[in-house]
Structure 1
């Protein structure tokens, strides 16, 4: 099925897109963990990352890279989380394959604390790393 009328991601329109390529789109997460939190999804309705075609996989990776450049310019984050939740047991709540691109900022209080895994928590102080901002 290329489109699921019950899927919130399938209902997104071009006006909602931050960017897109021929097989994938990116839009703002409606419940962001941080400022600039994007979702990158295949245009085709597919439930899991394991079910995307090779062409879709390449397009997803390319759009993640393009989105990172966009977020670097717009928000200048200190780092990123890139996450894919695959299956309900892994925390997937919308069953349309999607990649979270989450900008991270030093000492910013994370939104949705109860809903996110520990790796998404930003340490309050890591001075040894603050000097070596990597892009």
Structure 2
């Protein structure tokens, strides 16, 4: 089966909860309304065409992603005044990518949240997440 037929990020209009906030030639900045109560202001930057991972992005998709990231930050700063941001790509199932359509997480962070100060490297710093090394 062609992934584009079933990919939820290829069919945004099929999810009334998903809102397109900004778009440019190749990408969208989207927010899911149901996630705003926990991750206020969070959203995704995604390519309009089905592109599986960040490593598959074209130069134009990279450039358009950066343009939307800056535009999203301006909007989020104005609406929510976050104290910082976590921004990142999960790639591959082991890397935490649950939808095989490239998407850049844009997550405003706040000093009063329970996980304040725990950035995207948090899990790398946990000794209980270390691999058992073999020789």
**Aligned counterparts of 1:90 and 1:121: Cα–Cα separation in 2:** 12
Deviations 1:71-116 (CA, angstroms, capped at 9, x unpaired): 0111110100001001111100011000000000002135xxxxxx
Match of 1:11 in 2: 11
Bigger mean CA offset, 23-32 vs 63-72: 23-32
Structure 2 spans left out of the alignment, 5+ residues: 123-135
Alignment of structure 1 residues 81-120 onto 2, 5 Å? 81-110=86-115, 118-120=118-120
Q: 2:82 aligned with 1:77, yes or no?
A: yes
* Residue pair 2:88, 2:120 contacting (<8 A) in 1 also: no
Size of the aligned set, in residue pairs, is 114
Q: Residue 4 of structure 2 aligns to a residue in which SS?
A: coil
Is the radius of gyration larger for structure 1 or structure 2? 2
Structure 1 spans left out of the alignment, 5+ residues: 111-117, 123-135
Deviations 1:22-58 (CA, angstroms, capped at 9, x unpaired): 1100111454652011100000101001101101111
TM-score (normalised: structure 1): 0.75
**Aligned counterparts of 2:78 and 2:105: Cα–Cα separation in 1:** 18
Given the alignment, which residue of 11, 21, 26 partners 2:24? 21
TM-score (normalised: structure 2): 0.75
